[in-house]
Amino acid sequence: MISKAVDLAVNDIERRLGVIAKQAGQCEKHGEFAVIIRKNGQSGCPACAQEARDVQEHADKQAEWERGAAVRLERKLGSALIPRRFQGKTFSNYRAETETQQRNLSRCREYAEQFARHRDDGRCIVMTGTPGTGKTHLAAAIAAHVAMYTSMTAVYRTVSSLLQFVKGSYGEKATYTEAQAFASLVEPDLLILDEVGATKPSEYELATLFNVINGRYEDQRPTIVISNLDHARLGEVLGERSVDRLREGRGIGLVFDGGSHRLRKEAI
């Protein structure tokens, strides 16, 4: 028996829209409904159709948000000056083959996930060890996590690019001052300083690096230092005063071992 709530009458407006007739229908989920019959077919349960539209609308909005999030992340990573080669580096695609690398991966993941606390403490990381063992990979993964899940900022610089940037403020045609150059290096919540010790530093370079590290130290802003040198030699290429500031506040020292991932890829 059809409920009186289901109206099977076809009015004039519906006829003009191509409705030929209506008949009673039964949905297992929503109960009775009126089936709309046209020349080219008939309708199904309107409640089921609405649910399907709602699901699709939610999926479309989710996809749009994810596309927007990807664009925002790309912009933040671009602003961070992280090289394209390292922009796709994450904790999940880091190859931790030794016990030490597994421990380093765990420490870096924790550092990223708890970055707000480490940011407040100004806690730094010093990564040392053989080339090709994933130091820059993990530092980039930390920066990506900070960019994606927080409103804080991260900036990547090699020592050579940092020095060139500061020197770029000295020329007559410079578009920024030395003070502005140092401010842009001190103000980010996280600074990644790579290739420390790649060349023998001059007194000017040591003084410049100290000014950056000390400025961040005074503002309690974390710095990640990456070097292929042994930790004991950092003082030679970074300056003992700078190393002391990186260690203060329970600074984290990570040593990377094992063979180079890059050499293994080339051999394949």
144's tokens: 């990506």
Query: What CATH number should be reported for the domain holding residue 128?
Result: 3.40.50.300
Same domain, residue pair 38 and 118: no
Q: How confident is the model at residue 265 (pLDDT cuts 50, 70, 90)?
A: very low
> Is the same domain home to 85 and 38?
no
The neighbouring-strand residues paired with 226 are 127
Q: Which residues contact 8 (CB under 8 A, 6 or more apart)?
A: 2, 22, 23, 24, 34
Token output for 55: 């699901």
Average pLDDT over residues 18-30: 90
In a domain, 64, yes or no: no
Q: Residues of the chain with pLDDT > 70: what percent?
A: 87
pLDDT the model gives residue 249: 81
Is 92 buried (19+), middle (13-18) or exposed (0-12) by CB count in 10 A?
exposed
User: Is residue 230 located within the same domain as residue 129?
Assistant: yes
**Is 23 in the same domain as 93?**
no
- Give the residue from 41, 133, 145, 50 showing the smallest Cα distance to 90: 145
| Residue 98: predicted pLDDT | 85
Number of structural domains (the chain) is 2
Does 1 reside within a domain? no
Task: Give domain status of residue 56, yes or no.
Answer: no
| 68 falls within a domain | no
| Residue 239 shares a structural domain with residue 133 | yes
Quick one: pLDDT at residue 16?
87
- Asked if residue 2 is part of any domain, the answer here is no
Q: Report how far residue 220's alpha carbon sits from residue 46's, in angstroms, rounded to the nearest whole number.
A: 60
Give yes or no: residues 24 and 84 share one domain: no
222 in the same domain as 143: yes
Taking only the tens place, the pLDDT of each residue in 27-47 is 999 999 989 889 888 989 989
Same domain, 116 and 224: yes
Same domain, 25 and 146: no
For residue 188, give every residue at least 6 positions away whose Cβ sits within 8 Å of its Cβ, in sequence order, or none: 153, 154, 155, 221
Q: Is residue 67 part of a domain?
A: no
Regarding whether 20 and 114 lie in a shared domain, the answer is no
Percent of the chain with pLDDT over 90: 50
Phi, psi of 24 (to 5 degrees): -70, 140
Tell me whether residue 51 is in a domain: no
User: Is residue 21 domain-shared with residue 88, that is, in the same domain?
Assistant: no
Q: Give bridge partners of residue 132 from the DSSP assignment.
A: none
pTM of the model: 0.69
Which domain covers residue 30, as residue numbers? 12-44
Query: pLDDT of 212-244, one tens digit each?
Result: 999 999 999 999 999 999 888 888 899 999 999
Do 114 and 217 belong together in one domain? yes
Query: Is residue 96 situated within a structural domain?
Result: yes
Query: In the chain, how long is the greatest CA-to-CA distance?
Result: 96
Q: Is the pLDDT assigned to residue 260 strictly greater than 90? A: no
